[in-house]
C-alpha cells in the first residue's frame, strides 16, 4: 500500500509584501526597457514626424521611478517595523557559520536547509545588497529628475541634488552610476528568477508560488 505524502502549510508572506514584490518587479521591468531607450534613443527613424516617443517613454520612466522609490521606502519600513517578523528572523542565520555551511551544502544537493526565517543566509545577504542598490538607484534617479525639472518636487530637491551631484563628480557621473546600477538589477533579476525556480525543484517548497499565495509547504516526514 502506497502512502501519500502530506504537507504542512506555513504562512510566510503578508499581502503587503506580495503586492510590493510584484509592483517592484513591474517597476524594474518598465524602468529597464525605458531606461535603455533614454540612454540610446533608437526606436524612431530620423525622418519620422513622431516626436512624442521620447516624451512618453520619459514619462513612463518617471512614473515607475517614483513607484520604485515608494516601494523601496515601504519595504525598508516593513522589514524593520512589521509585526510579521519572519524576514527579520533570517538575520540569525547570517550570524551562524553552520547555517552558511548548511545552505552551501544544500546547493550541492547535500542535506536540507533549515532556516530561522524565510531566507537562507546567502539569500538574505543578496536581498540586503539589492535593496541597497535600489536605494542608490532611486537617489541617483531623483538627482537626475531634479536637474531637469526645477518646479515642484524637483525644485524642493534641487539643493540636496546639487550637493550629491558635486560629491559624485558631476552630472555625467551620476548618469553613468545610475546606468551601472541598472545592470546590477538586470543581473540580479536573472539569478533571482533562476534560483527561485531551482529552489522549488530542489526543496519542493518555498518556490515561486509562495510569493503569489503567501504560503509555503513543507513535506511531513
What's the pLDDT score for residue 212?
A: 84
What's the pLDDT score for residue 195?
A: 85
**pLDDT digit string (tens) for 100-141?**
888 888 888 777 777 777 888 888 999 999 999 999 999 999
Residue 9's CB is within 10 A of a number of other CB atoms, namely: 12
CA 80, 86, 87, 88 dihedral sign is: positive
**pLDDT digit string (tens) for 47-74?**
666 667 888 899 999 999 999 999 999 9
pLDDT at 218 over 70: no
**pTM of the model as a whole:** 0.86
User: Phi/psi at 8 (nearest 5 deg)?
Assistant: -100, 135
Burial of 201 (0-12, 13-18, 19+ CB in 10 A): exposed
Mean pLDDT of 153-161: 92
What CATH topology corresponds to 7-219? Answer: Fumarate Reductase Cytochrome B subunit (1.20.950)
d(CA 94, CA 90): 7
**pLDDT digit string (tens) for 177-212?**
999 999 999 999 999 988 888 877 777 666 677 888
- Give the mean pLDDT of the chain: 86
Of residues 41 and 129, more confidently modeled: 129
Residue extents of the structural domains in the chain: 7-219
What's the pLDDT score for residue 49?
A: 64
Amino acid at each position: 500500500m502506497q502512502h501519500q505524502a502530506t504537507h504542512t502549510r506555513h504562512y510566510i508572506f503578508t499581502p503587503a509584501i506580495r503586492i510590493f514584490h510584484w509592483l517592484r518587479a513591474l517597476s524594474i521591468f518598465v524602468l529597464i526597457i525605458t531606461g535603455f531607450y533614454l540612454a540610446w534613443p533608437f526606436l524612431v527613424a530620423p525622418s519620422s514626424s513622431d516626436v512624442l516617443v521620447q516624451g512618453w517613454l520619459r514619462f513612463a520612466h518617471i512614473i515607475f521611478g517614483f513607484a520604485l522609490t515608494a516601494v523601496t521606502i515601504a519595504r525598508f519600513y516593513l522589514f524593520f517595523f512589521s509585526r510579521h517578523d519572519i524576514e527579520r528572523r533570517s538575520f540569525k542565520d547570517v550570524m551562524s557559520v553552520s547555517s552558511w555551511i548548511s545552505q552551501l551544502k544544500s546547493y550541492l544537493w547535500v542535506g536540507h536547509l533549515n532556516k530561522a526565517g524565510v531566507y537562507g543566509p546567502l539569500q538574505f545577504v543578496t536581498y540586503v545588497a539589492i535593496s541597497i542598490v535600489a536605494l542608490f538607484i532611486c537617489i541617483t534617479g531623483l538627482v537626475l529628475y531634479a536637474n531637469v525639472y526645477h518646479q515642484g518636487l524637483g525644485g524642493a530637491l534641487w539643493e540636496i541634488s546639487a550637493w550629491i551631484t558635486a560629491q559624485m563628480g558631476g552630472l555625467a557621473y551620476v548618469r553613468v552610476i545610475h546606468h551601472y546600477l541598472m545592470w546590477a538589477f538586470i543581473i540580479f533579476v536573472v539569478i533571482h528568477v533562476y534560483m527561485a525556480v531551482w529552489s522549488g525543484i530542489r526543496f519542493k517548497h518555498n518556490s515561486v508560488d509562495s510569493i503569489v499565495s503567501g504560503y509555503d509547504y513543507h513535506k511531513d516526514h
